[in-house]
Amino acid sequence: MPDLTTKARVDLEDLAIHEGAPVLLRRALAEVAEGGFLEVRGSSPGLADDLAVWCRKEGHSYERGTLACSHRIQHGASIPTLATSAAVSQVAEPGWGLAPRGALIETGGPEFSFTLRTKREVWAQELDSIYRQAANNQWSARRDIPWDHLPKLPLEIEAAVCQLMTFLTENEIAALYVPARFISRIHPHYREVVETLAMQVVDEARHAEAFTRRAEAGGMGLGTTAVTGQLSLRTLLEEADFTIAIFLLCVMGEGTFLTLLKFLEENAPDPVTALLAQFAHRDEARHVAFGIAHLRYVLHREPNRRGSLGAAVERRSRMLATVSGLSPYVYDALVILAGGGASPAQIRTGARRVAGLHREMDHARRARLQGLGFDAEDAIALSAAHTKNFM
Ligand SMILES: [Fe+2]
Ligand SMILES: [Fe+2]
């Protein structure tokens, strides 16, 4: 039995209810068991009436004391709270809602409809280090790029750069929408996943801004968006399963983009384009790291999911069967850029380099797939079935 005799006291002096007295009352009541009494002293005008109203609202009982300026509060039933563990649970309950992990939660709150609420669906190792790197490596397209150093380039080179910036920007927008679509579905109990994906969204917004800016900075503006590219990206945006979407975007797509961005940095005709490719590459490496870490986590627990990942690549390949390959806008721009111009000799050099780029992309994709436990034969088939539009 709790001790219900009056022992707890609080002296409000002349502090009134509307001046903050409830702060002291709640602190004092926190030390009183349910049903126990708190002795209150206070001399503010009308305190008895104000205390009676406040007690009714808070679920306590009020009695006037025997002496002048004395009052008594009997502690009513508290709203029950639920202690959540600071450790990551395997399943997150809808009733935990938006409460931070490890907080006390008042029971009886609303249920939220987060559909991704098991650890095995969303988790990854190394989230803390990926997030920390992301937070430390944020850059600004306005502040950190030497826009004044952009030289006047030959027309065909500037046009090739602008076309590639157009292609990059549409891919950045897709890479922004995919994580953004899933964030609101993930239970906040798994906040590290949400935070990492939110950083990814910010990165992609910056990439889209920076690449568009580069196209505009030379005075020529954006090039053409091809139907093939849009069709390919739509299949990525429509993927409903989180793990498959992360596999297609972060492992297959952004993995392929790492090779592309490295190629652009090496073949850039100006320091601005080179730096943009370098900065974007650093960010994309983190996105790929998250994808790999998530897939490792999932596949370690459910090795047969490799089958569904492979099936997703093949399904996407069948949907894109009518799409002949990389859009000619992008291919031609890559060739002219890599060859350094549009003369027959330069085109020959450029075409050879672009063929080498495709081989490197394929090689890196296969290595990543094998790193995730796909056997060599499956890795070859899946890498070959990956969209010809890179993302
Ligand atoms: Fe990006
Ligand atoms: Fe990315």
Number of domains in the chain: 3
Does residue 109 contact residue 96 with C-beta atoms inside 8 Å?
no
Kindly state the tokens that stand for 359.
Answer: 């081989």
Whether residues 40 and 88 share a domain: the answer is no
Residue found under tokens 């990543």 = 368
Please report whether residue 169 resides in a domain. Answer: yes
In a domain, residue 253? The reply is yes
Q: Is the pLDDT of residue 350 over 90?
A: yes
Exposed, middle or buried by CB within 10 Å (0-12, 13-18, 19+), for 57? Answer: exposed
CATH number of 32's domain: 3.30.110.40
Which residues surround the ion ligand 1 when the cut-off is CB under 5 Å? 172, 204, 207
Residues 147 and 227 in one domain: yes
For residue 390, tell me if it sits in a domain: no
Same domain, yes or no, for 333 and 224?
Answer: yes
Ligand 2 midpoint to CA 287 (Å):
5
- 322 alpha-carbon distance from chain centroid: 33
Tell which of 49, 74, 99 closes a domain.
74
Ligand 2 center–CA 25 separation, angstroms: 52
Average pLDDT over residues 241-247: 98
Are residue 185 and residue 170 in the same domain, yes or no?
A: yes
pLDDT value, residue 5: 55
- Which pLDDT band, with edges at 50, 70 and 90, does 207 fall under? very high
- 1 occurs within a structural domain: no
Query: Could you tell me if 42 and 185 lie in one domain?
Result: no
Distance 158 CA to ligand 1 centre (A): 22
Q: Which domain holds residue 192?
A: 119-385
Counting ligands in written order, the one closest to the CA of 284 is 2
Co-location of 209 and 271 in the same domain: yes
Residue 147 lies in a domain: yes
Gyration radius (Cα) of the chain, Å = 31
Overall average pLDDT of the 56-63 stretch: 94
My answer on whether 124 and 53 are in the same domain is no
Quick one: 17 and 104 in the same domain?
no
Residue 275 maps to a domain? yes
- Residue 345 structure tokens: 């000799």
Alpha carbon of 207 to ligand 1 centroid (Å): 5
How far away, in angstroms, is 248 Cα from ligand 2 center? 12
Q: What is d(CA 353, CA 337) in angstroms, rounded to the nearest whole number?
A: 10
- CA 185–ligand 1 middle distance (angstroms): 22
Bridge partners (DSSP) of residue 41 are: 11, 70
The model's pLDDT over 270-322, given as tens digits with 9 standing for 90+, comes to 999 999 999 999 999 999 999 999 999 999 999 999 999 999 999 999 988 87
pTM for this one?
A: 0.90
CA distance 112 to 370: 39
Same domain, 106 and 147: no
Handedness of CA 277, 281, 287, 288 (dihedral sign): positive
Whose atoms come closest to the Cα of 173: which ligand? Answer: 1
